[in-house]
Amino acid sequence: METSIASDKAPAAAFAKRLKRRVAARQWDFFAVTAPNLETLCRRELEALPADVQALKTVTGGVEFRGRLHDAYAANLHLRTATRILMRLARFRADSFGRLEEKLAAVDWELFLPQACALDIRVTARHSRLYHSRAVADALGRAVSGRVAVGAADELPLQRLQLRLSDDRAVLSLDTSGEPLYKRGLKSTGGPAPVRETAAAAVLMTAGFSAGMALADPMCGTGTFSLEAALLAQGIAPGRLRNFAFMRWPSFAPGRWKEALRRADRRQQRLDRPFIVASDLDPAACETLRGVVGAHEILGVIRVENRDFFETAPGPPPAAGGLVVLNPPYGRRLGSRSEGRALVREIFGKLQADYRSWRLAMILPKGYVEEKPPFAVHFSPLHHGGLKVVLLTGRVPA
| Positions that interact with ligand SAM (CB under 6 A) | 191, 193-195, 218-219, 221-222, 224-225, 280-282, 285, 308-310, 327-329
189 DSSP assignment: S
Neighbours of 85 (CB within 10 A): 28
Q: How far is the CB of 221 from ligand SAM (least distance, A)?
A: 3
CA pair distance 203, 201, nearest whole angstrom:
5
Q: How far is the CB of 284 from ligand SAM (least distance, A)?
A: 9
Q: How far is the CB of 89 from ligand SAM (least distance, A)?
A: 35
Measured at CB, which residue is nearest to ligand SAM? 221
20 DSSP assignment: I
Q: How far is the CB of 255 from ligand SAM (least distance, A)?
A: 37
The residue (of 170 and 215) whose beta carbon lies closer to ligand SAM is 215
The residue (of 58 and 312) whose beta carbon lies closer to ligand SAM is 312
Residues in the chain: 398
Q: How far is the CB of 34 from ligand SAM (least distance, A)?
A: 18
The residue (of 191 and 340) whose beta carbon lies closer to ligand SAM is 191
Fill in the amino acid letter for 171. V
Fill in the amino acid letter for 275. F
Assign residue 62 a region: left if phi > 0, alpha if psi is -120 to 50, beta otherwise?
left
Q: Helix (H, G, I), strand (E, B), or coil: what is residue 205?
A: helix
Q: How far is the CB of 398 from ligand SAM (least distance, A)?
A: 24
Q: Helix (H, G, I), strand (E, B), or coil: what is residue 137?
A: helix
Q: How far is the CB of 330 from ligand SAM (least distance, A)?
A: 7
Give Cα 338 distance to the centre of its chain: 34
Q: What share of the chain is helix, strand, coil (3-state, %, to 5)?
A: 35, 25, 40
Element (H, E) at 303: strand 302-306
The residue (of 225 and 244) whose beta carbon lies closer to ligand SAM is 225
Q: How far is the CB of 197 from ligand SAM (least distance, A)?
A: 9
What Cα–Cα distance (Å) separates residue 17 from each residue in 10, 13, 87, 257? Answer: 11, 6, 21, 20
The residue (of 178 and 328) whose beta carbon lies closer to ligand SAM is 328
The residue (of 3 and 336) whose beta carbon lies closer to ligand SAM is 336
The residue (of 253 and 281) whose beta carbon lies closer to ligand SAM is 281
Fill in the amino acid letter for 203. V
CA pair distance 218, 312, nearest whole angstrom:
9
Nearest to 299 by CA among 334, 275, 328: 275
The residue (of 120 and 308) whose beta carbon lies closer to ligand SAM is 308
Q: How far is the CB of 283 from ligand SAM (least distance, A)?
A: 10
Work out the angle between the directed axes of helices 224-233 and 197-206 (0-180°, nearest 10).
60
Element (H, E) at 171: strand 169-175
The residue (of 221 and 322) whose beta carbon lies closer to ligand SAM is 221
* Helix spans in the chain (H): 2-19, 39-47, 69-78, 97-105, 109-112, 133-145, 197-206, 224-233, 254-266, 283-295, 337-354
Phi, psi of 189 (to 5 degrees): -130, 160
Q: How far is the CB of 92 from ligand SAM (least distance, A)?
A: 42
Neighbours of 66 (CB within 10 A): 16
The residue (of 199 and 214) whose beta carbon lies closer to ligand SAM is 199
Q: How far is the CB of 223 from ligand SAM (least distance, A)?
A: 6
The residue (of 66 and 345) whose beta carbon lies closer to ligand SAM is 345
